Amino acid sequence: MNAAACEAFLRALPKTDLHVHLDGSLRLESLIEMARERGVSLPSMNCEGMRALVFKDRYANLVEYLHGFAYTCAVLQDAESLERAAFELAEDNFAEGVRYFEVRFAPQLHAHAGLGMDDVLKAVDRGLARAAVRWNRRLRRDDSRAAEPEYAYAITVCAMRYFDQNFSSYYKDLFRVHPFSPPKQVLQFGSLELAQAAVAIRDRFGIPITGFDLAGREEGYPAEDHRRAYEYAHKNFLKKTVHAGEAYGPESIFQAITDLHADRLGHGYYLLSPNMVAAPAIADKKEYVRRLAEYIADRRITLEVCLTSNMQTNPSIKSLSRHAFMKMRKARLSTTLCTDNRLVSNTTVTKELMLAVEHFGLTQHELKNIVIYGFKRSFYPGSYIEKRTYVRRVIDWYERVQASHQTSDCFWNRARPLDL
């Protein structure tokens, strides 16, 4: 199977994206159009210019990578824009065979006096739901597609490890309400307020908010500072994921699973890197990492791996074949491949899978495990029985797609598969 045929096969497979940011995944044309309509100044008002100046193929570091979010967040300050961005993101996912995805974003970056937290979440849900209804109607109209799994989505809200009053109107008001509190305490108030609001809005409006996340600068802003918010999320049955080990070492991941009860880990790139252990109290760094990885493997805490994003934000990764994903596979960790940001990283789920096949010699068995893990470890909004039924339909459909493509001659490795 040549590269084009292999890509067509990957595109046809039922897929997930469990780690994709709404504000990092706008269509570039839509960003420019919304900026023009709302008077938001961009470095360029055409796609070529924005690709050259902001949304590049390679970034110097994470700070440069995050620069583009200032423009996307600036246009997502009203319900119409949020609904449009959510609808288009769902359309783009469903069009490439992503049957289920979890969009994450920080509602506090979009809320203000004229747009409450509930308005933000309802607008995003309207856009996602409209796309899901549209694509599922197509399935029901065609009897030959009755066996296919439906298109579905869920929402994960993101707390911020760090913010200041310049991040948004909401955060400015938060500092105003707590004028005598130290900054670290205001950060704690912000994450707790988000957890409380997410649970209340979920329960009141029936919005499929199933996940709680912590994103942003790791170094100097430990996960343990947000323990109260995660305890609230935990007690109110929100699933928990944490950006950890993306730009800091294994201790950040340790905090995520011990202090925050993480069910999944965003990135986890440095999980298997003893040289990144910073705490002087940890004498045997290799043993610390070994025990941490063993615990994560045994508990099947899934790593949301974002290959392109990691390459763009981490200059130390000289080639994709040196990405930690290879070590993760050898350690039999539960992994799923995600986009992180479709616009900022100029990627799709199909591209991420293609990169994995090309650079890591995946067997068909390994590919299937990675894809199916995305469904199994998802924060699916239905009941456990409904999720099991859905996953079974996904597996059946995967096998049908595989049988309909000539995959035996694909360029992936035919060696004995790793049992992931």
C-alpha–C-alpha distance, residues 135 and 114, integer Å: 32
Which listed residue (83, 102, 148, 246) is catalytic? 246
Secondary structure string (H, E, C) spanning 403-417:
HHCCCCCCCCCCCCC
CB 339 within 8 A of CB 17: yes
Give the SS3 label for residue 91: helix
Q: 202, 218, 180, 168: which is closest to 62 by C-alpha?
A: 218
Tell me the two tokens of residue 158: 């993101």
CB 191 within 8 A of CB 137: no
**What is the arrangement of strands in the sheet containing 15-21, beginning at the earlier edge strand?**
15-21, 98-105, 152-160, 209-215, 239-244, 264-267, 302-305, 335-337
- For the CA atoms of 132, 137, 142, 145, the dihedral, rounded to the nearest 10 degrees, stands at 30
How many residues make up the chain in this entry?
420
CB 311 within 8 A of CB 323: yes
Active-site residue, 48 included: no
Positions marked active-site: 246
